[in-house]
Amino acid sequence: MNPSDPSHSTMSTPREGSDLLAVHVVRAVGVRKTYHLGGEAVHALRGAHLSVKRGEYVSIMGPSGSGKSTLFNMIGGLDKPDEGRVFIDEVDIAALDTFELAWLRCHKIGYIFQTFNLIPVASALDNVMMPMVLAGMTQADAQDKAVGLLKKVGLGDRLLHKSVELSGGQQQRVAVARALANDPAIVLADEPTGNLDLHTGEEIIRMLEELKNEFHVTILTATHDHKMLAASDRVVYLSDGQITSIKNRGELDIKIGHIGEKH
C-alpha cells in the first residue's frame, strides 16, 4: 500500500505537507490486522489512518472489539500490522527486528496500564528506575532521576514502599513516573483510570495533562472515561476496525463536570 495515499475519506486530520515528518510523532497509514481465532478470521483493523502531532493529547474511543487495543498495541511497538505501516518518530515499526523494537519500547514509549502493572515485590523507586537501568543508565543517575520523578508525582515520601503497600491511585502515579523515566516521545495509557475511583481518576488525568505541558510529551490514551476525553486535544472514534471520526477538543460535547476543582 502506498503510504502517502490518503484514501480514507473519514480522516479529518489536517495534513501539513512537508512539515509532516517533523511534526507527527505517530503515523498509522492504512493499517490492517487480522487475527485468526479458532480458524475464524477476525478483522481487528480494516485500514486505519491516524496521525498524532508531537505534544498532542489524543484519546482513542471505541467499544470493545473495535480494534482500539490493536491500534494501540501497534503504536506501542507491541504488535505489527499485516498491511499498511505504522511510523513512530518516522521509523517504520514493521522494519524493526526484536532488538530494535525493544530499544524503541525502552527509549521512545512510556506505558501506563489499567492494572498499573508495577513489579509487585519491588519498591516504587526500583520500579521507576527499571526502564532507566535497562536503557543503560548508571544506578546512581537512575536513582536521582527516579527520585525526582516520584517527587513530581507527589510520592516523594513513599520512595521505598512496595507497590502492595500503595493505594491504586498511588500505584498509578508510580506508573506515570515510570512511563516518563526515559523521556519518551509518546506515553501510551490504556484505560489509565479504569481501575480507579472517580476522584483518583481525575487526579491522574490532571497529572497527565500537567506532565504533558511540562515535558512536551505526546499522550495517547484508550479510554471510556469521559473525564479523560475532556482533557484531550483530540478524540479519535474507532468502530469495527475503522476510524469513524476525529474530533478536536472544541467540537466535543462533553459535560466537563468538576474537573479542575480542588478537592
Partner 1 sequence: MASSMIEPLGASGAIQKQIRLPFSKAVQIAWRNIRVRLARSLLVMSGIVLALAFLAYILCSDALVRSLITAGGPLVESLQKEGKLARMTSTDVSAQTWWLVGLALLVSFVGILNAMLMSVTERFSEIGTMKCLGALDSLIVELFLLETLFQGFVGTAIGIAIGLALVFLESLFTYGAEAWTLLPGATLAKLLGLCVLVGIGLTIAGALYPAWRAAKMQPVDAMRTEI
Residues lying near partner 1 in the complex (CB under 8 A) are found at 22, 25, 54, 73, 76, 78-79, 89-91, 96-100, 102-109, 111, 113-115, 117-122, 130-131, 133-136, 139, 178, 183, 185, 190, 216
Q: Shortest distance, CB of residue 125 to partner 1, whole angstroms?
A: 13
Nearer to partner 1, 131 or 169 (CB): 131
Nearer to partner 1, 113 or 259 (CB): 113
Q: Shortest distance, CB of residue 34 to partner 1, whole angstroms?
A: 15
Is the distance from CB of 235 to CB of 40 less than 8 angstroms?
A: no
Q: Shortest distance, CB of residue 257 to partner 1, whole angstroms?
A: 26
Q: Shortest distance, CB of residue 104 to partner 1, whole angstroms?
A: 7
Q: Shortest distance, CB of residue 12 to partner 1, whole angstroms?
A: 25
CB atoms within 10 A of CB 140: 8
Is the distance from CB of 245 to CB of 253 less than 8 angstroms?
A: no
Nearer to partner 1, 134 or 254 (CB): 134
**What b/e readout covers 155-188, taking b as 16+ CB neighbours within 10 angstroms?**
beebbebbbeebeebbbbbbbbbbbbbbebbbbb
Nearer to partner 1, 136 or 250 (CB): 136
Given its phi and psi angles, is residue 43 left (phi above 0), alpha (psi -120 to 50 degrees) or beta? beta
Nearer to partner 1, 175 or 246 (CB): 175
